[in-house]
């Protein structure tokens, strides 16, 4: 018995075990600090979005003479409808099919292991021919789906593919799809509120309707700038989480380089509404404000610094 106790103590103080434990603690602390700055920025942008929604709710109570509770119920119903329809449309638009476990055994095993490490239920795995190497996640924590293109599977090495899968699992674990659906719903609701405010305060029905429609569209585009800022921040967080799960940012960085090269000169079958969910989507130059993703070069630079 004493020998067993001594062996147990010896294992606890084994230099390798101590070093591994220290590395894990240090990595978690670095990950927490990396997330802190992003979370502060997301909190600021989220506060601005809440202010926009409060304005829209106020307009609805005045223009339509609705109680605030009714406005909130309608807003939640609208967001829920967008989420349910959007998820189904994303899978349908790329022709996603179930990923057979006997044919893609390594992918299923890798996703199962990483899901356990992230503390989420293993998502449904699907495969699709997208024309370009890409992948995306839909759904929420506990009921998510990851879709991988056949082009991506052929292009990447196993460790690179695991980096991409870890990124998509991070989106599910962080409830990013739900968050983005809520943000897009707020933008749409604010645009509708401005449209009806212009119509209600005008005196020329046809002219005010056209003016209201234009004002509503411009307002929705303006609010979407803040929503897309959150989307870009969350891409960085998912990259960071993926690096923590696979042990390094290098595999995902190499994957992004290959995906960027592999997408050049190819025609994508991915709808614009689905591209916002994908692992790859460039956002450089003047279009940066309206991009769902940060620039690939910046993501790679950050990944290699982890």
Name the burial class of residue 89, with classes exposed (0-12), middle (13-18) and buried (19+) by CB atoms within 10 angstroms of its CB: middle
- In angstroms, the CA 24 to CA 302 distance is 20
Tell whether 167 is in a known binding site: yes
- Separation of alpha carbons 110 and 159, rounded Å: 10
Catalytic hit among 97, 162, 168, 250: 168
298 annotated active-site: no
**How far is C-alpha 251 from the chain's CA centre?**
19
Residues in contact with 279: Cβ distance below 8 Å, sequence separation at least 6, in sequence order = 134, 135, 136, 164, 167, 168, 255, 256, 259
Q: What is the dihedral of CA 80, 83, 84, 86, to 10 degrees?
A: 150
The answer to whether 230 and 293 are in contact (CB under 8 A) is no
Give the C-alpha separation, 188 to 196, whole Å: 12
Q: Is 250 exposed, middle or buried (0-12, 13-18, 19+ CB in 10 A)?
A: middle
Question: What would the two tokens of residue 135 be?
Answer: 């992948």
Q: Would the annotation count 108 as a binding residue? A: no
What are the start-end ranges of the E strands in 79-154? 97-98, 124-128, 135-140, 143-149
The beta strands (E) that lie in 143-200 are given as 143-149
Do residues 42 and 228 touch, judged by C-beta distance below 8 A? no
- Could you list the active site residues? 168
Binding-site residues? 167, 171, 235
Binding-site residues for Zn(2+)? 167, 171, 235
């Amino acid at each position: 018995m004493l020998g067993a106790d001594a062996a147990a103590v010896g294992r606890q103080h084994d230099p390798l075990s101590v070093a591994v434990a220290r590395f894990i603690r240090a990595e978690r602390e670095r990950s927490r600090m990396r997330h802190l700055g992003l979370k502060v920025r997301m909190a600021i942008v989220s506060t601005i979005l809440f202010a926009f929604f409060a304005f829209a709710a106020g307009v609805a109570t005045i223009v339509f003479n609705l109680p605030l509770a009714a406005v909130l119920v309608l807003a939640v119903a609208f967001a829920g409808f967008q989420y349910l329809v959007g998820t189904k449309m994303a899978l349908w638009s790329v022709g996603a099919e179930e990923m057979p476990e006997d044919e893609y055994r390594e992918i299923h095993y890798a996703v199962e292991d990483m899901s356990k490490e992230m503390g989420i239920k293993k998502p449904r795995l699907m495969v699709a021919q997208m024309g370009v190497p890409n992948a995306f996640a839909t759904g929420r924590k506990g009921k998510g789906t990851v879709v991988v293109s056949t082009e991506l599977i052929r292009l990447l090495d196993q460790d690179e593919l695991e980096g991409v899968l870890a990124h998509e699992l991070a989106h599910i674990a962080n409830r990013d799809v739900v968050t983005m659906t809520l943000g897009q719903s707020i933008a749409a609701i604010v645009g509708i509120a401005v449209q009806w405010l212009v119509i209600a305060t005008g005196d020329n029905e046809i002219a005010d309707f056209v003016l209201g429609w234009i004002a509503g569209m411009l307002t929705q585009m303006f609010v979407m700038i803040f929503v897309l800022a959150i989307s870009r921040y969350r891409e960085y967080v998912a990259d960071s989480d993926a690096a923590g799960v696979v042990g390094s940012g290098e595999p995902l960085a190499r994957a992004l380089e290959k995906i960027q090269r592999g997408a050049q000169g190819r025609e994508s079958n991915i709808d614009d509404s689905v591209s916002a969910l994908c692992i790859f989507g460039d956002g450089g130059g003047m279009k940066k404000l309206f991009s769902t993703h940060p620039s690939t070069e910046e993501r790679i630079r950050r990944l290699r610094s982890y």
